[in-house]
Structure 1
Amino acid sequence: MTAVLDRPVSRPPVRLHRDRRRWAWGLGAAAVLVWSLAGAGLFSGAVVNPGGGVQFDRFASAALSPAADGEFLALLATSALVTVAYAALGTALALLLGGVGAVLVSRTTWGRRRLGWLLARGALAVPRGLHEAVWGLLLVNVLGLDPWVGVLAIGVPYGAVTAKVFADLVDEVPRGGYEALLASGSGRATAALYGLLPPASGGLLSYAFYRLECAVRSAVVLGLIGAGGLGYQLSLSFASLRWDEVWTCVYALALLCLTADVAGRAVRRRLATAPSAARRDPVLTAAVLGALALTAWSWWFLALSPGTLVSARTGSQLGYVLGAAWPPATDGALLGSIAGLAVDTVQMSVIAIAVATLGAGLLAGVAARPRGPMRPGRRLAGSLVRVVLLLLRAVPPPVWALVLLFVLLPGVLPGALALGVYTLGVLGRLAAEATEELDPRPRAALTALGARPAGAWLYGVASRATGPVLAYALYRWEVAIRDTILVGLLGAGGLGALLASEMAAFDWAAVTTVLAAIVVLTWLVDLVSDRARRALR
C-alpha cells in the first residue's frame, strides 16, 4: 500500500513573477504620487487662499441663475455653430491624414523591415506629442486669425493619432483573405484594399465617430486661445466676472458634448452589435451621409479658402518662423529651466491622474447602467452622477484651474487638480462603461448565496473592473501629460508656461527647444505607461 502525502500546490513561477511585477509597479506609483504631492507643496506650506471664498460663493450661486437674455443666447448659438464647424472639418482632415498615414506606418506595409516601421512610427510622435492648443498658437503666427488655424490645429495632431490607430486596426484583422490575394498574384495595395479593409471597416468607422466627439472638446479648447466659438465666449465671460454668463456657456458646452457623446455612442454600439451588416444598416448609412453633409456645410460656414495656405504671405511668414527657429537654443539657463519645469509637469500629471482614478473608482458603480430592472432611487442617482461627469469633462481644464484659484494659492496644485477634475469626467465615463460590460453572473451568484449588496459589488464587480479601469487610467495619463501644457499656456505652470513666455517674446529658437522637450517627455510617459499596462495583463 502506497501512502500519498498531501503537499501544498505551489504557485506557478510565471504567475508569481507577474504578481511581483504588479506589486513593484504599485509601490512605485505610490512613491511617485507622494513625491508629486510634496513637489506641489501640499506638505510644506499653505495652499489655501483664505480670501477667495467670497468670489467662489458668487461663482457657485450663479449656477442657479444663468444668463437667459435673447441677445446672449443668440450669440451662444452662433458660437456653437463655429465650434461644430471646427470639429467637423478638423475630424475630416484627421481622417484623411490618418488614412494616408496608416498606410505608411502599418506593419503590413513594412513587412519584415522592422527598422523602417519603427522610424515611421517614431515620426508620428512629433505631431501627436503636441497639444492642439500648441498647434493653434504656432499656426496663428503663420496664418494669422484665419479659420484654417482651428481646422489644422485639430486635424494635424488628430491625424497622427488616427494613423496609429487605423494601422493597428488593419494589422489586427484576420489575414487569410489578404494572403490569398497575394498568393494569386495581386499587388500589396490591391490585396490590402480587398482583403484587409472590409473586415476592419467597422472598427475604422467606430473610431472615426469617436474622433468627432473628441474634436468637439478640442474646438472648445481652441476657443480659449482666440479661435472663436463657445470656448472664446466662455473666456470673455470669465474675464469680465459675469458668472451668470459663464454658467450659460457651461450648460451650452455640456449640451453640445452630450449630443456628440450620445450620437457617437449610438453609432459605436450599432457597429458593435452587427459589424458584418454595417454597410446595409440604414441608420449607419444615414450617420455617414449626415457627417459628410456636416463637413460640406462647415466648409461653407467658415468660408475656408485653400488659397490662404499657398499665399505669398503665408510662405514668407512660414519661412521666417522656420529660419528663426533653427538651430534650437541650447544655453544652460534655458535647459535648466526646462529640466525643472519638466519635473513640475510630470508631478502635475501624476496628481491629476491619481485624483481622476480615485474619483472614477468611487463613482463608476453608481454611474454604470446595470442590466435588468433598477430601483427608482438607484436610477436617479446614476443619472445625477452621469450628468456631473458630463459637466466635468465639458468644461476645459484651464477654466477649472481659474475656478480653483479662487480657493487655492497659485502653483502646481491648482493646475493638477483642474486636470484631475476634467480627467475624472472622462475616466469616470470609461470606468462606468467598463463596469457595464462585465458579466453580471458572479455578482448575482454572490447575492444568491446571501452576500450583502456592498460585498457582492466589491467581490463580484470591483475586483474584476480594477484591471480595465487602471488600463484606462494609464491611457489617460498619456493624454494628461499633454493637457498639462494646455493649463500651463494659460498660467498654471510647467513647460506650458515657459512655452507661452518664449512665444510671447518671439524667441523661436527657445520655442523649438521647449517643443522638443515636450515631445521627448510625452514619449517617455507613453513608454512608461505602456510598460505599466503590460504588467497589468
Structure 2
Amino acid sequence: MTAVLDRAPAPALPRLRRDRRRWAWGLAALVAVGWSLAGAVDGDVLNPAGAAQVGRFAAAALSPALDGAFLGVLATAALVTVAYAVLGAALAVLLGALGAVFVARTTWGRRRLGWAAARGVLAVPRGLHEAVWGLLLVNVLGLDPWVGVLAIGLPYGAVTAKVFADLLDEVPRGPYAALLAAGAGRAAAALYGLLPQAAGGLLSYAFYRLECAVRSAVVLGLIGAGGLGYELALSFTSLRWPQVWSAVYALALLCLAADVAGRAVRRRVAAPRRRAGVLSRDRLLTAAVLGTVAAVAWSWWYLALAPASLVSGRTREQVGYVLGAAWPPATDGDLLAEVGRQAVVTVQVSVLAIAVATVGTVLVAGVAARPPGRVGPLRRATGVLVRVALLLLRAVPPPVWALVLLFVLLPGVLPGALALGVYTLGVLGRLAAEAVEEADPRPRAALTALGARPTSGWLYGVAPAAAGPVLAVALYRWEVAVRDTLLVGLLGAGGLGALLASRLAAFDWPAVATVLVATVVLTLAVDLVSERARRALR
C-alpha cells in the first residue's frame, strides 16, 4: 500500500489564470488616458510669461496676512461657511433617510421596475454639481440664504439616499419580515425593522457628509454665496497673495476639524465600547449627536432662514417662469452638435484628472499612511508633511487651482484637468492612506520577520491588499470628477460647464435644459461604466 501511495501522482495545484476582464479594463483605461491626453495637448499649452506670478503666489505661502482686521473678516466668513455646511448636511441626511426607505431594494421586493424608476429619480439631483444647483436656485430665490443650503442638501440628499438604501439592503431582514407578517406596510416595516439595525453605518456616513459639505460650502462661496470661498475669490481677483494663503489656511483648519471629528465618530461606530461584554452608552457619540443638533439650531438662527421665502409669491412666479421657459428643451442641430463636442471635452478632463490623482496617490499613499508600531522621527515627520500637503490640496477648491495654473498654462482642457487632478489627489490620497492603514498587517510583519526591508515589506505585504480598494475608490472618484468638471468648466476650462455658463448668461433656458439633460445622461453613463469596472476588480 505504501508503494502504491509513493507512486501516486501528487494532487495538481490549481493553475492561476489571468482575469481577462481586468486586462481588458486596464487596456481600456490606458487608451482613454492616451486619447484624453492627445486632446489636451493639441497645440501650444504653456504660457511662460506667468511663471513670475506663480512664484509670487508660492512665496506668499510663508507670509500669510495676519492683521487683525482681515483675520476678523475670515472668522466671520468661517462662521457663514460652517452654517451652510451644517444645514446642508442636515438636510441631506434628512432627505437621505426618507428617500432610502423608498429606493431600497428590500422595500420594493420583486418589483424591479418600480425600484429602477425610484433609483432613476435620484439620478437627476445627483447628476448635477452643487455649484450648478446654486446657479439655478439664484435665478429662483435670488440672494437668499436658502440657495446655499438647498444647493448642498438636494444633490447630497440624493447621494445619501442611495448610500443609505445600500446599507439598509445589507442588514438582516428578520425584523422587517416579522413586521410584514404582522400586517405593516413595506415603508413602515423598513422604517422600524431596517433603520435601527443600520443606525451605526448611517451615523458614520452622515458625519462623512458633513466633511464633504464644508468643502461644498466653500465652492458655493466662489459663486457669491458668501463665506470663506467668497473671501478667497475676492483676494485672488485682486492678486493679494498673502490674503489668499490666509484664507487657504483657514479652509484647511475647517477641513481638518471636520476630518478629525468625522474620523473619531466613525471609529467609535466601527468599534463600539463595551463594559463586561455589554454595549454601553458612548459619551463621545452622544456628545456628537447633541452637538450636531445644537449646531443646526445655531446655523438656522445665524443665517436667519425664513421658510416663508420658499413658498412666497415671487418664488412661485420665478419657478413657473423658469420651468415654462425651459420646456421643451432646445433640439436644434447646432446646439446638439456643440453639446456632443463639449461632452467629449468633459470626459477627457475627468479621465486626465483621475489619472493624475491615481498616479499621485500611488506615490504618496505609503508615506501618508500612519505606520504600525514605532518608527523613526524622520519617517514620522515625512508622513505628517505629506498628510498636511494632501489636506491643503483638498482644502483649496478646484477653480482656485485652475486660476493658478492659468498663469503658466493657456486656457483649455489641460489646466482644468490638472486643477481637478490636484484637488482629487488630496481626497484620494487621504482615502488611500486609510486603506493602507486598515490593510491586514500580518503579511508585512511576516516579511519583516524574514529580514525584508521596510520598502519591500510595503510593496509585497501591503500594496497588493490595498490596490483593489484604492482602484475602486479611484473609479468612484471618477464619477465625482465628472460632476466637478462642470465646476472648472464654469470658469472657462471648457466642457459642458463652459457651455452651461454661456447659456445661463444669455438666459437661454431651453438650451440650459438641454445641457442639464446631457449632463445627467453623461453622469449616468459614467456611473454605469465605473460600476462595471469596479465589479471586474472584485
Is this a same-fold pair by TM over 0.5? yes
Deviation at 1:278, TM superposition (A): 7.8
- CA pair 178-279 structure 1, distance change in 2 beyond 3 A: farther
Deviation at 1:223, TM superposition (A): 0.2
Deviation at 1:186, TM superposition (A): 4.3
- State the AA in 2 paired with 1:268: R
Deviation at 1:125, TM superposition (A): 0.4
Partner of 2:77: 79
Find out whether 1:500 has 2:501 as its counterpart.
Answer: yes
Deviation at 1:119, TM superposition (A): 0.4
* 2:137 paired residue among 136, 139, 143: 139
State the distance in 2 between where 1:329 and 1:191 align: 44
Identical aligned residues as a percent: 76
- CA pair 279-109 structure 1, distance change in 2 beyond 3 A: farther
Alignment of 1:231-246 (within 5 A): 231-246=229-244
Find out whether 1:317 has 2:318 as its counterpart.
Answer: yes
- State the AA in 1 paired with 2:20: R
Matched residue count: 531
How big is each residue's C-alpha offset from its partner over 1:305-356, in whole Å with a ceiling of 9 and x where there is no partner? 1111111111111111111100000111111111111111001000000110
Is contact 1:353-1:423 (8 Å) kept? yes
- State the AA in 2 paired with 1:24: A
SS at match of 1:354: helix
How big is each residue's C-alpha offset from its partner over 1:153-191, in whole Å with a ceiling of 9 and x where there is no partner? 001001111111111111110112222333344444443
Alignment of 1:154-173 (within 5 A): 154-173=152-171
- State the AA in 1 paired with 2:444: R
Structure 1: where are the runs of 5+ without partners?
none
Partner of 1:27: 27
- CA pair 193-327 structure 1, distance change in 2 beyond 3 A: closer
SS at match of 1:370: coil
Is contact 1:48-1:408 (8 Å) kept? yes
State the distance in 2 between where 1:194 and 1:140 align: 38
Is contact 1:279-1:285 (8 Å) kept? no
Alignment of 1:116-515 (within 5 A): 116-274=114-272, 280-515=281-516
Partner of 2:38: 38
Alignment of 1:33-72 (within 5 A): 33-41=33-41, 44-72=42-70
State the distance in 1 between where 2:273 and 2:478 align: 31
State which drifts further: 3-12 or 371-380: 3-12
Is contact 2:168-2:194 (8 Å) kept? yes
SS at match of 2:440: coil
State the distance in 2 between where 1:187 and 1:6 align: 59
- State the AA in 2 paired with 1:39: G
How big is each residue's C-alpha offset from its partner over 1:343-394, in whole Å with a ceiling of 9 and x where there is no partner? 1100100000011011111111111112211211111111000000000000
Is contact 1:278-1:284 (8 Å) kept? no
- CA pair 278-26 structure 1, distance change in 2 beyond 3 A: farther
Deviation at 1:96, TM superposition (A): 1.4
* 1:11 paired residue among 15, 21, 24: 15
State the distance in 2 between where 1:313 and 1:286 align: 41
State the distance in 2 between where 1:413 and 1:149 align: 31
- State the AA in 2 paired with 1:266: A
- CA pair 327-279 structure 1, distance change in 2 beyond 3 A: farther
Structure 2: where are the runs of 5+ without partners?
none
State the distance in 1 between where 2:135 and 2:191 align: 38
How big is each residue's C-alpha offset from its partner over 1:33-83, in whole Å with a ceiling of 9 and x where there is no partner? 000000101xx4332211111111111111111111111110110000000
> Aligned-residue CA RMSD in angstroms?
1.6
Partner of 1:96: 94
State the distance in 2 between where 1:214 and 1:300 align: 22
Q: TM-score under structure 2 normalisation?
A: 0.96
State the distance in 1 between where 2:392 and 2:280 align: 35
- CA pair 307-534 structure 1, distance change in 2 beyond 3 A: same
State the distance in 1 between where 2:515 and 2:216 align: 22
State the distance in 2 between where 1:294 and 1:278 align: 28
State the distance in 2 between where 1:190 and 1:465 align: 40
Deviation at 1:474, TM superposition (A): 0.3
- State the AA in 2 paired with 1:296: A
Deviation at 1:453, TM superposition (A): 2.1
- State the AA in 2 paired with 1:26: G
Is contact 1:142-1:317 (8 Å) kept? yes
Deviation at 1:455, TM superposition (A): 1.5
State the distance in 2 between where 1:278 and 1:398 align: 46
Q: TM-score under structure 1 normalisation?
A: 0.96
Deviation at 1:261, TM superposition (A): 0.6
Is contact 1:271-1:278 (8 Å) kept? no
Deviation at 1:275, TM superposition (A): 7.9
State the distance in 1 between where 2:94 and 2:305 align: 17
- State the AA in 1 paired with 2:408: V
